[in-house]
Amino acid sequence: MAEKAIGLDYAVSAAEPLLDVISLHKQFPVYSPFGKIFGAKAFVHAVSDVSFQLYEGETYGLVGESGSGKSTIGRTILGLTPASSGQVLYKKQDLAAMRKGDLRKFRKDIQMVFQDPFSSLNPRKRIGAILEEALIIHNQGNQVERQEAVFRILQTVGLQAEHYFRFPHEFSGGQRQRLGLARALIMNPKIIVCDEPVSALDVSIQSQILNLLKQLQRDLKLTLLFITHDISVVRYISDRIGIMYLGKIVEEAATDQLFSNPVHPYTKSLFSAVPGFSGKKLKERIILKGEIPSPLSPPSGCVFHTRCPYATERCKTEVPGLTNIASNHKAACHLIST
């Protein structure tokens, strides 16, 4: 990991990002029991002013509790959920501003692996038909060529040619997630968004899928956005990590740097809950008080100030920006000196 981090420092500082998310916002309207007649009575602030870059060949991990907005970011990048505002630049093309017809030609370059592989596979179709569907939509090859492509991708993810003729219910959870990977890879994408791809699997199967992802990344030169709530998983697979809380990124750093020196109070509290964690500045368990505020009415100022043990009056009124702590290390906290 250390050698990889050194190479990544150069890539981050010198290369253009393959994907650049700029000031992304997403609000979901909440309507009254009478429906949309009287308009939205409130908005759920799922993602608020999120910015990050994804560089070619790296794995960027998004970590946060349930409801922090990380999955919404992944779906917004792919256009499955339209952004309220902000930009999603892929090779300098703004995907968030494109119409569906224009966005279709970029879909083959950015694919998604969903959390629940069974619900994302049509139970009425055989695996061959499911995997060929994307090739048909994008007019790729004839019937024989599409079938050969499916056989190749099944072998790539560790399955057999005979699985082409089976239905989704005939597979185990780990095999279904391999099928999810196969469907994402069938169009030779540049970026794969992995939305909690191992959270529903047994620990032993998790390691197999993670190792497969790392192998595929090397062999196919993939770039990964890895979304998870599991600290140990994101530490194993990611080059850089963004920590999310209530729709915002509160800290971002290279993996080794983040785990050796977490600086944001929320990051410290997350890491202190991991058994055996030996962060440089963590000597005791940090237990947060209270509950996560509702995204319907997020707190003013720093969104973490209602639970932060170090909050000041400034934290209640002024929104902190991501401040450079060191090379490739940022945090959004008023108590961190520049």
pLDDT tens for each residue of 256-310: 999 989 999 999 988 887 776 655 555 567 778 888 899 999 999 999 999 998 8
Residue 3 pLDDT: 37
The arithmetic mean of pLDDT across residues 162-182, rounded, is 93
Residue 39 pLDDT: 79
Range in 35-49, 84-98, 144-158, 252-266 the model is least confident about: 35-49
pLDDT tens readout for residues 186-219: 999 999 999 999 887 888 889 999 999 999 999 9
Report the amino acid identity of residue 35: G
Q: How far is residue 263 from each of residues 70, 75, 189, 312, 333, measured CA to CA in Å?
A: 21, 29, 35, 17, 9
Residue 338 pLDDT: 44
Q: Residue 2 pLDDT more than 50? A: no
Residue 70 pLDDT: 94
Cα distance between residue 336 and residue 112, in whole Å: 36
Q: Residue 243 pLDDT more than 70? A: yes
Residue 244 pLDDT: 96
Higher pLDDT, 33 or 59: 59
pLDDT tens readout for residues 112-124: 998 887 888 899 9
Cα dihedral 132, 135, 139, 144 sign: negative
Residue 117 pLDDT: 78
pLDDT tens readout for residues 23-43: 999 999 998 887 787 778 889
Q: Residue 13 pLDDT more than 60? A: no
Q: Which residues does 111 contact at the CB level (< 8 Å), separation at least 6?
A: 183, 184, 185, 187, 189, 191, 192, 193
Domains of the chain, CATH where assigned: 2-57+68-104+239-331 (3.40.50.300)
Residue 6 pLDDT: 36
User: What count of Cα atoms within 13 Å lies in the side-chain half-sphere of residue 160?
Assistant: 5
Residue 1 pLDDT: 36
Q: Residue 162 pLDDT more than 60? A: yes
Residue 168 pLDDT: 93
Q: Which residues pair with 195 in a beta bridge?
A: 227
Residue 337 pLDDT: 57
Helix (H) or strand (E) holding 194: strand 191-195
Rounded percentage of the chain residues whose pLDDT exceeds 70:
93
Higher pLDDT, 72 or 338: 72
Mean pLDDT of the chain: 88
pTM above threshold 0.85: yes
pLDDT tens readout for residues 78-87: 999 999 999 9
Residue 216 pLDDT: 94
The arithmetic mean of pLDDT across residues 218-240, rounded, is 94
Distance from chain centroid for Cα 256: 19
Cα distance between residue 293 and residue 306, in whole Å: 8
Cα distance between residue 268 and residue 291, in whole Å: 17
The arithmetic mean of pLDDT across residues 114-138, rounded, is 90
Residue 281 pLDDT: 53
